[in-house]
Structure 1
Amino acid sequence: MDLPDPQFSEFVTAFLKDRGLPVEDLQFHSLPSDGSKRLFWRLSPQSDTSFVAMENTPTDDFSKRENVAYLMIGRHLFQKDLPVPEIHHFDLANGWFILDDFGDASLQESALPKERRISLYESAIEILFRIQTEGVEGFNTEWCCQTERYDQYVMQRYEANYFRDAFLHKYLGLKKDWPELENPFNHLAATASRADNQFFLHRDFQSRNIMVSAGKIGILDWQGGRLGPLAYDLASLLIDPYTGLSSSERDEIYQHYLRFLNKYDPRQVEPFRKYFPYLAVQRNLQILGAFSFLSKMRGKTFFEDYISPALKSLRHLLEDLKDPQLSPLKEAVHS
């Protein structure tokens, strides 16, 4: 079990004492961090009270920006009465945070019983739409830790090239250079970037970042938030390989989202339908790049189990899209 350093323990203890909570025999229970370098612990000073403590040591410029994004975006969403944990205490200089505990049950585990699945996803969709449309109000792009907007630069560098380098080359052991993919990647990003990107984008809206407690939905890991298109986060949820939704389940959830969108602004529905498949391919490239990098370079072999279903998903998306300009990419993933 990873134990926090003494200074962090003192930070936590001081917070609990200020709250009038007992600190005798306090234990730090390590929590999984998935693909992150951050460290998490559960604190239970008494039987009916628990918090999560997070440490993200700011060792470089990006981690400093990431901590600011975590704080500012988290506060922003919480103030909008959106279901994210309240950040009770923080120390940006050290990368320390204490926040509400949303429990252990993610949507991944909660959606295993198929009879509950659709209702849980419908609840998640309602929260997603609120985050996208309400979260953009008053959102300050200076809080963003990577880019202010999900744009062609992000699509190329952090998704298409990530897929090429981490999955095709380093994970599969195929060639390093893929000049034949340059035009398909450019076409994919150019088309996907035509979607209206004036909404709040979570950018990792998948079942392990969605918590379920007493039937209520809570959202984690918002620090990658920025402006972006509506379809990306929905695609993230639908093609998420952790839950393995069937095609009929995906379609039912997709239609449920469209009903929200139609009520919000009927003019958005047709462009949403048009660009959704391209944004879904972009997200799928990111998934394969990330899972390959994390399993191969970080030794987090848990992710390797999901590479095969993610590849299958990408193949299906490209088949359904039937865009001849993406044929070289289609051939690469069938080789």
Structure 2
Amino acid sequence: MEKIIDEIKSLWLQYAGTEALEVTKLPQSGSDRMYFRVTSAETLVKVEKTVIATYNDNLKENNTFFAFSKALLSKGCPVCRVLIVNEAGNTYLQEDFGDTSLLNVLEEKGYTGEVYALFQQSLKKLAHLQIVGGSAINYDDCLTTREFGKQAIMSDLLYFKYYFLDTLKYPYDKQALLNDFEALSTYLTHTGNKHFMFRDFQSRNIMVKDGDIHFIDYQGGMLGALQYDVASMLWQARAELPADWKNSLLDYYIEEAGKLLPQPLDPALFIAQYNGYVLIRLLQVLGAYGFRGFFQRKAQFLTSIPLALRNLKWFTENGRMGISVPEFDRCLGFCTSQEILDRFEPLKADDNTPLVVQIHSFSFRKGIPADTSGNGGGFVFDCRAILNPGRIEEFKTQTGRDKAVKDFLEQRTTMPDFLNSVFDMVDISVTDYIKRGFGSLQVNFGCTGGQHRSVYAADALARHLRNKFGVKIELKHIEQEAKNWINLTYKIEGEQ
């Protein structure tokens, strides 16, 4: 990490002619790219006050991003300016659009007229990016395939099959399903309007700054149908847009895109194929959640599955694609059945739930905490197999709640894998105890001094259980509270 930050500082010095005031790591999303915010000195006026530094070892992906940014900017599209790239091509500075995404605005303000106007602005600029901006794209620069055609559609369908459908252990006719995939991909390939396809156009990748919208993460783009990006945005699981918003915003997009094309769009034909792309997008997202959650063991992706399934259920009951795919329909019916929804929907505690989960961090040198409930049992997790931040001089006076220590544990140790396994085991007990009306469960995390690893792990589990189950938590950091290093009124991140 230190080498990456040093490279960023060197690149900033080369760009701005002065040293950076601060380099701060930003939260990492689903990709392997690492983002940092570089802050300049207040006295500088010739350069941006802040920029985003990106580190990415995938040079082909970087080169695609550079090429697409240059082409789209030449047509007035609201995308990133790349400011400078290092010689290795793995680190670059880009324009900073801030931290507020359209999804953030929606979650903060709800379904208001102001937010609706931002969705309209996004769709209008999307049409411009696809049709006008796409005319400047050299599709030989695409990261994977040049076109989202039949093969790419089949790939998304198989992605859903392997990483989600097959995990459900549902007995289906494999050949009949593949035949339906073939028919659907052929049907969707036959479209007359193929332009630049953003590929991951959703409110999380639309930044809002001073009332204007800007696009990020478009390096996966390719030639494709206009409908795909609209479907991606309007059917994003976390956004949960009302049906009337989806319908009216789709009509708005059709009108705006028609203004940029030689011939206006035929709404009926556009919507028929749009519904097919809605389905493709919903399935691709479920495949991604399955891959990230089941195979990469990233628990946060599993919590998004119920939203995606509810989206899929509404679509299968209301959408019409204009093509018969009987075996596929049967599989989708099972995926959206109450049995499957219940399987992924976490059981929620309510005011009448007696369960209280006691979570402790402690030092093995002082002994394992006693269970005062009289029930005995519970969990004791040994964090000493995780690389110890306490061996590093700068961390010796810090705890597992300090940002530098948390970054170290998340990025340079096996703590994320360790916690994924912890979550899997504890979730089983919490679910069962809520169902059976049990009153207590104790979970203890121990390390050498009860200062770094155990504190971080205890906080992480408390946050996970509150977010997933809404269960009551009693959190105690035994060693640190004894030393008064931690304020007892400290709120867990994400706690209301």
> Same fold judged by TM-score > 0.5?
yes
State the shift of 1:216 in Å.
Answer: 0.7
Secondary structure class of the residue paired with 1:145: coil
Amino acid at match of 2:182: N
Partner residue, 2:50:
50
Secondary structure class of the residue paired with 2:325: helix
After superposition, give the CA deviation of every residue in 1:231-259 in whole Å (9 maximum; x if it has no partner): 10000001111210010111111111121
Partner residue, 1:219:
215
Moved more, 214-223 or 300-309: 300-309
In the aligned structure 2, how far is the partner of 1:177 from the partner of 1:68? Answer: 42
Partner residue, 1:38:
33
Amino acid at match of 1:138: A
In the aligned structure 2, how far is the partner of 1:94 from the partner of 1:86? Answer: 16
State the shift of 1:70 in Å.
Answer: 1.2
C-alpha distance 186-316 of structure 1, shift in aligned 2 (>3 A): farther
Residue 91 in 1 paired to residue 86 in 2? Answer: yes
In the aligned structure 1, how far is the partner of 2:157 from the partner of 2:75? Answer: 34
* Candidates 203, 207, 229, aligned match of 1:207: 203
Residue 109 in 1 paired to residue 104 in 2? Answer: yes
C-alpha distance 43-329 of structure 1, shift in aligned 2 (>3 A): same
**Contact 1:261-1:269 at 8 Å conserved across structures:** no
Partner residue, 1:152:
150
State the shift of 1:124 in Å.
Answer: 0.5
Residue 235 in 1 paired to residue 234 in 2? Answer: no
In the aligned structure 1, how far is the partner of 2:331 from the partner of 2:102? Answer: 32
**Contact 2:76-2:133 at 8 Å conserved across structures:** no
Q: Which runs of 5+ in 2 are unaligned?
A: 43-47, 335-496
Partner residue, 2:315:
317
Amino acid at match of 1:143: D
What count of residue pairs does the alignment treat as equivalent?
A: 323
**Contact 2:184-2:323 at 8 Å conserved across structures:** no
Secondary structure class of the residue paired with 1:136: helix
- Tell me which stretches of 4 or more aligned residues in structure 1 moved more than 6 Å: none
C-alpha distance 333-92 of structure 1, shift in aligned 2 (>3 A): farther
Matches within 5 A, 1:1-335: 4-6=1-3, 8-20=4-16, 22-23=18-19, 26-47=21-42, 49-57=49-57, 63-91=58-86, 93-112=88-107, 113=109, 114-115=111-112, 116-157=114-155, 159-170=156-167, 172-174=168-170, 178-265=174-261, 266-270=263-267, 271-319=269-317, 320-321=319-320, 323=322, 325-335=324-334
C-alpha distance 327-314 of structure 1, shift in aligned 2 (>3 A): farther
In the aligned structure 2, how far is the partner of 1:5 from the partner of 1:330? Answer: 52
Query: How big is the alpha-carbon RMSD for the aligned residues of Structure 1 and Structure 2?
Result: 2.1
After superposition, give the CA deviation of every residue in 1:38-69 in whole Å (9 maximum; x if it has no partner): 11111112357111111111xxxxx3321211
C-alpha distance 154-89 of structure 1, shift in aligned 2 (>3 A): same
Partner residue, 1:60:
none
Secondary structure class of the residue paired with 2:98: coil
**Contact 1:207-1:237 at 8 Å conserved across structures:** yes
State the shift of 1:177 in Å.
Answer: 7.7
**Contact 1:315-1:330 at 8 Å conserved across structures:** no
In the aligned structure 2, how far is the partner of 1:316 from the partner of 1:151? Answer: 26
In the aligned structure 1, how far is the partner of 2:154 from the partner of 2:204? Answer: 25
C-alpha distance 328-122 of structure 1, shift in aligned 2 (>3 A): same
Moved more, 271-280 or 13-22: 13-22
State the shift of 1:280 in Å.
Answer: 1.2
In the aligned structure 2, how far is the partner of 1:9 from the partner of 1:176? Answer: 51
After superposition, give the CA deviation of every residue in 1:189-218 in whole Å (9 maximum; x if it has no partner): 111111235311110000111111111101
Secondary structure class of the residue paired with 2:297: coil
In the aligned structure 1, how far is the partner of 2:73 from the partner of 2:312? Answer: 34
% identical aligned pairs? 26
Secondary structure class of the residue paired with 1:259: helix
State the shift of 1:92 in Å.
Answer: 6.7
Amino acid at match of 2:55: E
State the shift of 1:75 in Å.
Answer: 1.7
In the aligned structure 1, how far is the partner of 2:15 from the partner of 2:51? Answer: 12
In the aligned structure 1, how far is the partner of 2:310 from the partner of 2:329? Answer: 12
**Contact 1:86-1:100 at 8 Å conserved across structures:** yes
State the shift of 1:329 in Å.
Answer: 1.9
In the aligned structure 2, how far is the partner of 1:173 from the partner of 1:125? Answer: 39
In the aligned structure 1, how far is the partner of 2:210 from the partner of 2:147? Answer: 34
C-alpha distance 267-277 of structure 1, shift in aligned 2 (>3 A): same
C-alpha distance 209-195 of structure 1, shift in aligned 2 (>3 A): same
State the shift of 1:325 in Å.
Answer: 2.0
**Contact 1:89-1:99 at 8 Å conserved across structures:** yes
State the shift of 1:104 in Å.
Answer: 0.8
In the aligned structure 2, how far is the partner of 1:322 from the partner of 1:136? Answer: 27
In the aligned structure 2, how far is the partner of 1:325 from the partner of 1:154? Answer: 21
Amino acid at match of 2:303: D
In the aligned structure 1, how far is the partner of 2:243 from the partner of 2:217? Answer: 27
**Per chain length, whose mean CA-contact separation is higher, i.e. which structure has more relative contact order (CA < 8 Å, sep 6+)?**
1
**TM-score normalised by structure 1 residue count:** 0.89
Secondary structure class of the residue paired with 1:111: helix
In the aligned structure 2, how far is the partner of 1:105 from the partner of 1:162? Answer: 31
Q: Which runs of 5+ in 1 are unaligned?
A: 58-62
State the shift of 1:94 in Å.
Answer: 4.5
Max radius of gyration: which structure? 2
**Contact 2:11-2:84 at 8 Å conserved across structures:** yes
**TM-score normalised by structure 2 residue count:** 0.61
State the shift of 1:15 in Å.
Answer: 3.0
